[in-house]
Amino acid sequence: MARNKIALIGAGMIGGTLAHLVGMKELGDVVLFDIADGMPKGKALDLAQSAPVEGFDARLKGTSDYADIAGADVCIVTAGVPRKPGMSRDDLLGINLKVMKAVGEGIKAHAPDAFVICITNPLDAMVWALREFSGLPANKVVGMAGVLDSARFRHFLAEEFNVSVEDVTAFVLGGHGDTMVPVVEYSTVAGIPVPDLIKMGWSTQEKIDAIVARTRSGGGEIVGLLGNGSAYYAPASSAIAMADSYLKDKRRLLPCAAFLSGEYGIKDMYVGVPIVIGANGVEKIVEIELKGEAKANFDVSVNAVKELMDACRNLDSSL
């Protein structure tokens, strides 16, 4: 059986980490694509030279030619520029929108059967634009944010309860930004919901509220600490979990940005919701009941994504 082919569009911090994880987990051969010339080739060569030591077999190729992604089974997109001092959110949106156009056209021409995972920010608007520009079916294009935001929530909850991260499940839904919605009612330790754990004296409402707030600003906390760039280890792991579920038809239920066609009362946009990922890409969109504050926060989050989509339409009339 031929090895899977995984194309990483953008070979920066997350792209390089993705390539390392694909190798270590033996998920397939890797193509590292970037507009920067030598860098993807350098990273591919460095990683290939780690293979004999680690004992994994994978072909790793760095390139700036889209023809090299031909026939990829999975494309993970991190291409774009980060926000720099003096750059407005709209400036950033304009630049990354153009990047999504180039990437979407490249995938359409060379890897139209791939399962595409977008990571580039602002996530919910970029994955929508990428789907539009690529013309791929909506079940084959998803955005990564919820797995990462939930992992941050799980990490903080596991610390608070002093239990294994493995036993903590958590959901963070909505758009990827300040308005994301950590859903406390659906977060558990081995099936015991967090509100019950509060009643059992494992924590207090105040402490859980603080964890929710810290989760919401989890990306910013890391940006502040790193001083240069944003998180990359956990984002890469999160996208690999999604790719793995697709490649192995695991049907994992993961919070991802998915295209909605009426679910949650929302049409024609990408929002973070629980989905099942299997061999057909998005196998199912799971509609959980959101009540009270969670529902109100979800609505705010959806409106924030709509505003970004309108800004994209103003920037590119083909959308």
CA distances from 24 to 20, 21, 73, 237 (A): 6, 5, 18, 12
CA distances from 222 to 30, 122, 174, 225, 227 (A): 28, 17, 21, 5, 8
Torsion region of 55: left, alpha or beta (phi above 0 gives left; psi -120 to 50 gives alpha): left
- CB nearer to ligand TXD: give 11 or 260: 11
When binding is defined by CB under 6 A, the residue of 235, 272, 274, 281 that contacts ligand TXD is: 235
When binding is defined by CB under 6 A, the residue of 6, 7, 8, 11 that contacts ligand TXD is: 11
Strands 181-189, 281-285: parallel, antiparallel or unpaired by DSSP?
unpaired
* d(C-alpha 302, C-alpha 257), whole Å: 11
Tell me which stretch binds ligand TXD (CB under 6 A): 45-53, 206-214, 227-235, 307-315: 227-235
- Minimum gap (Å) between residue 289 Cβ and ligand TXD: 25
When binding is defined by CB under 6 A, the residue of 82, 112, 193, 195 that contacts ligand TXD is: 82
CA 176, 125, 153 angle in degrees (round to 5)? 10
Tell me which stretch binds ligand TXD (CB under 6 A): 44-52, 229-237, 258-266, 282-290: 229-237
Beta-sheet strand order (sheet of 60-63): 60-63, 29-33, 5-9, 74-77, 115-118, 141-143, 252-261, 267-278, 281-285
Task: Name the residue with the smallest CB distance to ligand TXD.
Answer: 12
- Minimum gap (Å) between residue 239 Cβ and ligand TXD: 8
Segment 31 to 70, residues that bind ligand TXD, using CB under 6 A: 34-36
Q: Which residues are the active-site residues?
A: 176
- Minimum gap (Å) between residue 240 Cβ and ligand TXD: 13
* d(C-alpha 17, C-alpha 46), whole Å: 12
When binding is defined by CB under 6 A, the residue of 123, 180, 189, 285 that contacts ligand TXD is: 123
- Minimum gap (Å) between residue 198 Cβ and ligand TXD: 28
Tell me which stretch binds ligand TXD (CB under 6 A): 142-150, 181-189, 243-251, 286-294: 142-150
Torsion region of 96: left, alpha or beta (phi above 0 gives left; psi -120 to 50 gives alpha): alpha
Q: Does 116 sit near ligand TXD (CB under 6 A)? A: no
Size of the site for ligand TXD (CB under 6 A): 32
Q: Does 192 sit near ligand TXD (CB under 6 A)? A: no
When binding is defined by CB under 6 A, the residue of 144, 181, 184, 277 that contacts ligand TXD is: 144
When binding is defined by CB under 6 A, the residue of 6, 7, 8, 13 that contacts ligand TXD is: 13
- CB nearer to ligand TXD: give 76 or 302: 76
Residue 119 neighbours by CB distance under 10 Å: 27
Strand segments (E) across 34-167: 60-63, 74-77, 115-118, 141-143
When binding is defined by CB under 6 A, the residue of 20, 43, 176, 216 that contacts ligand TXD is: 176
Closest CA to 9 of 128, 121, 103, 105: 103
- Helix 123-134 / helix 89-110 crossing angle, nearest 10 deg: 30
Q: Does 7 sit near ligand TXD (CB under 6 A)? A: no
Q: Please answer whether residues 44 and 8 qualify as being in contact, where contact means their C-beta atoms are separated by less than 8 angstroms.
A: no
- CB nearer to ligand TXD: give 198 or 311: 311
* d(C-alpha 17, C-alpha 90), whole Å: 28
Contacts with ligand TXD by CB under 6 A lie at 9-15, 34-36, 78-82, 99, 102-103, 119-121, 123, 144-145, 148, 176, 219, 229-232, 235
